[in-house]
Every structure is written in C-alpha cells, then in structure tokens.
Amino acid sequence: MPDASPLPNRIPQIGARGPEPTGAAPGFSMNAQNPNLEWLLENLVGNTHGAVHALVLSKDGLKLCHTAGLTVDKADQLAAIAAGVQALSHGASAEFGDGSGGVRNSMTEFHGGILFIVEAGIGAHLAVIAAEDADVGLIGHNMDELVEQIGAFLTAAPRYAPAGPTP
C-alpha cells in the first residue's frame, strides 16, 4: 500500500494498519501487557536509514515494548540507561534551564552509535539507537512524527500510589 505522505520513508499514520486490536478501547495505554504498538517501532527502524533499535520505556526505566532486534536483557539495559540519561537531563534543565525541568530530547553520541531519547506521552519515553553515521535530523524528525501519532496512546502510570489519605 503506497504511503500518501509527500516525503519518502515516512512512518505510516496511526490506524493505517487497520482497526484497533480486539478489546482495546480508544485511549488505551500501552504497558508491558499491551504491546500493540511494536509494529510502529519496527516501521520506525525499518523506514529510517541508520536506525538500529527502538524502545518505549516508562519514566522510571521499565521497558514497555521494543523492536525484535533487541533481546530482553538488552532492552532492559537500554531502558535503564535511557531513564538515567533523561533523569540527568531533567536535573540539568531544572538547574540551568528556565526552571521548568522540561526535557525535549536527549542525544548521546558514543563510539559506534548514537542514542536518541524523546518524551513519548505521559510518563513514557521513546529511545532509538542509531549507527554513528546516521542522519540525526532525519532520526529526530521521524521520532517526533511517531510521538505525535501515538503519544496519546503511550502512558506509563507510576508503579506506586502517591502517599496521602485514602478517600
């Protein structure tokens, strides 16, 4: 099925795959038991030159879903690393930014690759590992486009209830 977008290698629009999976209501949140969006991560990697792996993680470092090229152990490790990078970036933003503590994205270039991290919904992040010669603008653009399409579906509620009186 040809992509209707004017630019090549664009990520397909949400819903282009067909109806929502059975049992999923509009606004469902993705969690470890609901990996219905893995195919979008596979499309991101497959349609973005230089992208190698993709992962969605909770703010506290739990993997929510990932591309098939990552083993479970590597996905866990990447989720922990990405959460740590985002936490450090958040601290730098709070101290040296405008005081809001907001982090738009993080990019770490290392020998042999690049790690990109963007916020991807409430309490969730999207991380991509790319080859060191990847086009950072293209990868950033495609990640942002994916987040725009699925950000409302990506929520990762905290694993604990806030302290306080119960109703």
Domain 38-153 has CATH 3.30.450.30: yes
Specify the pLDDT at position 138: 96
Per-residue pLDDT at 3 exceeds 50:
no
Specify the pLDDT at position 8: 36
Q: State the average pLDDT over residues 25-54.
A: 73
Stated pTM of the model:
0.73
Burial 13-45 (b: 16+ CB within 10 A, else e): eeeeeeeeeeeeeeeebbbeeeeebbebbebbb
First-to-last C-alpha distance (Å) of the chain? 52
Q: State the average pLDDT over residues 84-97.
A: 91
pLDDT (tens digit, 9 = 90+) per residue, 41-53? Answer: 999 999 999 999 9
133 contacts: CB under 8 Å, gap ≥ 6: 50
Closest C-alpha to 46, from 142, 133, 132: 142
CA 91, 153, 18, 12: dihedral to nearest 10 degrees? -20
Q: State the average pLDDT over residues 95-115.
A: 89
pLDDT (tens digit, 9 = 90+) per residue, 130-165? Answer: 999 999 999 999 999 999 887 776 665 665 556 666
Say whether 21 sits in a helix, a strand or coil. Answer: coil
Amino acid at the residue 114 = I
Specify the pLDDT at position 126: 95
136-150 vs 38-47: helix crossing angle, rounded to 10: 160
Cα distance between residue 105 and residue 23, in whole Å: 33
